């Protein structure tokens, strides 16, 4: 008796992205399936400087490509309006605790890899100097490392102050370069923050520290939680407003 065996069908794996051409350039669009999506939507994320196409769970990838190609001019226009990236290199002006500093290359290595100084000359938009020594190839990394150290110092001091007021203590404090959350609190009591908070006004950093410390007592956003945050920080509303209007602009500084 002869039996015919059919080759099993190979499962089709969705791509993670689509590359769409426009005006001689290739735009990469991330694909995201959502069970709750009833139609396709496009979003240009300013923090991560990328494009996301959200599609229904049963949508066809080919339809997603057609949708993206139909809106490629809109995507390009939105991308072109994103703030210009500012590298951590001499000549750039970057905020430190919301005070603009001009990065300068200096040879006084005895002062360390990076240090703060007064401006030796008038520079438009800058109020202070952030000096970096050593080879040019190391400048960006050294500036970033300096900013992260400053962020850790300020955040640890703020967390300690608020935690003492509550009679509690986090299990650890971590700094990351996140794009969606400025801070978080784990179930084990670990606090995570974006190091970019050192670029913002001090009251914004202090508010975020108070926010996450309050989660050590309330792992939710209940009324009791917000009352506690208000007790710890007097700047809840103004800090939230600053983050909403200017927070995404912090992502333009340095390379990710």
CA 15 – CA 33 distance, rounded (Å): 11
Mean pLDDT of 165-179: 94
End-to-end, the C-alpha distance of the chain in Å comes to: 64
What is the per-residue pLDDT across 14-47, written as a single tens digit (0 to 9) for each? Answer: 788 899 887 778 889 999 999 999 999 999 987 7
Question: Chain-wide mean pLDDT for the chain?
Answer: 91
For residue 58, give both structure tokens.
């049963």
pTM equals 0.79
What is the per-residue pLDDT across 102-152, written as a single tens digit (0 to 9) for each? Answer: 999 998 877 889 999 999 888 888 999 999 999 999 999 999 999 999 999
CA 198 – CA 118 distance, rounded (Å): 19
CA 69 – CA 73 distance, rounded (Å): 8
Tell which residue, 33, 105, 116, 40, has the closest CA to residue 71.
40
Are 191 and 185 within 8 A, CB to CB? yes
Q: Delineate the domains of the chain, giving CATH numbers in brackets.
A: 17-80 (no CATH), 93-252 (3.30.2010.10)
Please, which residues have CB within 8 angstroms of residue 41's CB and are 6 or more apart in sequence?
53, 54
CA 43 – CA 30 distance, rounded (Å): 10
pLDDT value for 9: 55
What is the per-residue pLDDT across 202-216, written as a single tens digit (0 to 9) for each? Answer: 999 999 999 999 999
Confidence of residue 1 (pLDDT cuts 50, 70, 90): very low
Are 39 and 17 within 8 A, CB to CB? no
For residue 72, give both structure tokens.
């490629």
CA 69 – CA 242 distance, rounded (Å): 35
Please, which residues have CB within 8 angstroms of residue 222's CB and are 6 or more apart in sequence?
none
Half-sphere exposure of 167 (CA within 13 A, CB side): 0
């Amino acid at each position: 008796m002869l039996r015919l065996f059919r080759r099993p069908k190979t499962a089709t794996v969705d791509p993670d992205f689509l590359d769409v051409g426009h005006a001689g350039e290739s735009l990469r669009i991330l694909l995201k399936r959502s069970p709750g999506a009833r139609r396709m939507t496009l979003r240009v994320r300013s923090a991560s400087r990328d494009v996301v196409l959200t599609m229904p769970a049963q949508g066809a990838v080919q339809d997603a490509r057609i949708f993206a190609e139909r809106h490629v001019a809109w995507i390009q226009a939105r991308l072109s309006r994103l703030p210009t990236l500012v590298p951590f290199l001499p000549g750039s002006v970057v905020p430190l605790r919301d005070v603009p500093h001009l990065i300068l290359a200096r040879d006084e290595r005895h002062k360390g890899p990076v240090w703060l100084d007064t401006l030796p000359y008038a520079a438009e938009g800058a109020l202070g100097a952030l000096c970096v020594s050593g080879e040019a190839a190391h400048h960006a990394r050294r500036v970033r490392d300096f900013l992260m150290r400053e962020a850790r110092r300020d955040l640890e001091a703020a967390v300690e102050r608020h935690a003492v007021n509550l009679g509690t203590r986090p299990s650890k404090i971590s700094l990351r370069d996140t794009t969606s959350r400025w801070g978080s609190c784990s179930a084990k009591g670990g606090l995570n923050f974006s190091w970019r908070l050192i670029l913002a006004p001090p009251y914004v950093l202090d508010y975020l520290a108070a926010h996450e410390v309050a989660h050590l007592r309330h792992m939710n956003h209940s009324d009791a939680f917000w009352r506690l945050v208000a007790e710890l920080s007097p700047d809840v509303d103004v800090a939230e407003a600053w983050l909403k209007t200017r927070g995404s602009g912090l992502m333009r500084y340095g390379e990710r």
